[in-house]
């Protein structure tokens, strides 16, 4: 499946990944700088915050309770489509999703 990362300045980058890859991993592997991911995917840092395209939002597993708490501590405003990208697993269902990277993670 493909992910389209949209940087705060509007630059878009397409990344192709294996199913089962997290959006955070994909960002790390392809040098998407706006996703910091301090904790390495353990769902404990909230520096992998992203905004998920609404159209495909429901195809990802729902927000977990721990993720929900962390989403209240993100550097950029929490919106209804906010997620932690380490908790988003790519599959054919989510192919082509646009992921907006926030201005800042700290
Ligand atoms: Fe730390 Fe996602 S990488 S919460």
| Interval 91-102: pLDDT, tens | 999 999 999 999
User: Is residue 106, in this structure, part of any structural domain at all?
Assistant: no
In a domain, 7, yes or no: yes
| Cβ pair 1, 15 in contact under 8 A | no
Asked whether 84 lines ligand 1 (CB < 6 A), one says yes
Residue 70 CA: nearest ligand 1 atom is 4
The per-residue pLDDT for 86 is 98
69 located within any domain: yes
Is 15 part of any domain?
yes
Instruction: Write the pLDDT tens digit of every residue in 20-45.
Output: 999 999 999 999 999 999 999 999 99
The predicted structure's pLDDT at residue 99? 98
Mutate to test the pocket of ligand 1, among 29, 41, 61 (most ligand atoms within 8 A of CB): 41
CB atoms within 10 A of CB 62: 10
pLDDT of residue 94: 98
65 assigned to some structural domain = yes
Average pLDDT, the chain: 97
* Overall number of domains in the chain: 1
Per-residue pLDDT averaged across 68-94, rounded? 98
CA-based radius of gyration for the chain: 12
Ligand 1 centroid to Cα of residue 9, in Å, is: 23
| Token digits of residue 5 | 């990362």
CA of 96 to the centre of ligand 1 (A): 22
Quote the pLDDT of residue 9: 94
Q: Which domain holds residue 38?
A: 2-100
Pairing relation of β-strands 2-6 and 97-100?
parallel
Q: What is the CATH number of the domain that holds 69?
A: 3.10.20.30
Q: How far apart are CA 82 and CA 11, in angstroms?
A: 19
Q: Is residue 42 part of a domain?
A: yes
pTM of the entire predicted model = 0.96
């Amino acid at each position: 499946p493909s992910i389209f990362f949209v940087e705060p300045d509007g630059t878009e980058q397409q990344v192709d990944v294996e199913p089962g890859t997290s959006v955070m991993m994909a960002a790390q592997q392809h040098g998407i700088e706006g996703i910091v991911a301090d904790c390495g995917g353990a769902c404990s840092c909230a520096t992998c915050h992203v905004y998920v395209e609404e159209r495909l939002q429901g195809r990802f597993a729902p927000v977990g309770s721990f993720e929900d708490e962390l989403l209240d501590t993100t550097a950029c405003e929490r919106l209804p489509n906010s997620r932690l990208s380490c908790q988003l697993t790519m599959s054919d269902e989510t192919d082509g999703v646009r992921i907006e990277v926030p201005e800042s993670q700290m």
